[in-house]
Amino acid sequence: MGSDLPDHPVCVLDASSYVGFWILKGLLSRGYSVHAAIQNKKEKKIMEMAKEDDTKLVVFGVDVLDYQSILVALKSCSGVFCCLDFQDPYDEKMVDLEVRGAINVVEACAQTDSIAKIVFTSSLTAAIWRENICSEKDVDERSWSDQSFCRKFKLWYALAKTLSEQAAWALAMDRDLNMVSINPGLVLGPSVSQQNPRSTRAAQMFENGVLAYVNVNFLVSVHIRAMEDTSTCGRYLCFDQIVNTEEEAVKIAQGLSPLISLPQSYECGGSEVYEERLRNKKLNKLVEGTAY
């Protein structure tokens, strides 16, 4: 494996987010050298990992609003996994913070000569929310959530992911950067409800056939594959399973409370099946022939 690894380290920013932490672990297990850029300077697990292996892992404290701190973390890196996330509750202030952070990261990449690729972690919620979702047959990589709809229903997390991803794409194209985005569904994994609290309109997503989840280990594999594969481009909706039966919806909600919740009417576990609208053929082509 060592001969296939890049000569320069890769950066994970923010490595103290839930997805970022697991990407960091996945990279280290594959032999990568990593710059772990963290906003949470109290992240003890990452600091301890660095003490155990200071030849492969270097930790940098960053502030996504401090452009210079991002430049320091990116120095000499060949690629960056940008996985910004903030603790609930998301509000309008958090939306602005995430957008500004995404712009700073992409601009810092443009100013770092060694960066060859950006893998940007967005969300499925950046593709599914709009007035006419129930009438659309397919939701795929071409789909975007409507900003006005998100503001109307105070879907601040979805708005943050939509606006930050769009801003990142606009700047990446303007700066002629090689970028791909991964848009995961609800992320499942160890301690997810404690470490990655995330409010979501699960009932409405379920009824519209767009409630889907992804195991964090598979999500990590997709991220690394997207970085390594030179043919990757554009967006990738990433999920393991679409939840379209009441039985499965209740099971997921019970296991992830308070991460998601469903109305009392669903607790009976009925048999109604909702039509699936999500499509991820593009992702399937990316992971074809690889181990899950």
Question: Annotated active-site positions, please?
Answer: 161
CA 105 – CA 12 distance, rounded (Å): 11
How far, rounded to the nearest angstrom, does the alpha carbon of residue 99 sit from its chain's CA centroid? 14
The Cα 16–Cα 36 span in angstroms is 8
Sign of the Cα torsion 241, 242, 246, 251 reads positive
**Coil/strand/helix, residue 101:** helix
Which long-range CB contacts under 8 A does 57-64 form with residues at least 24 apart? 57/24, 57/28, 57/33, 58/9, 58/34, 59/15, 60/35, 60/36, 61/37, 62/13, 62/14, 62/37, 62/38, 63/39, 64/13, 64/14, 64/39, 64/97, 64/100, 64/101, 64/104, 64/105
Residue 217 to residue 278: CA distance in whole angstroms: 21
The answer to whether 92 and 85 have CB atoms below 8 angstroms apart is no
Q: How many residues are given for the chain?
A: 292
**Which tokens go with 189?**
């994994």
Query: What is the CA angle 183-184-189, rounded to 5?
Result: 155
Phi, psi values for residue 107, rounded to 5°? -65, -40
- Distance from C-alpha of 121 to C-alpha of 172, rounded to nearest angstrom: 14
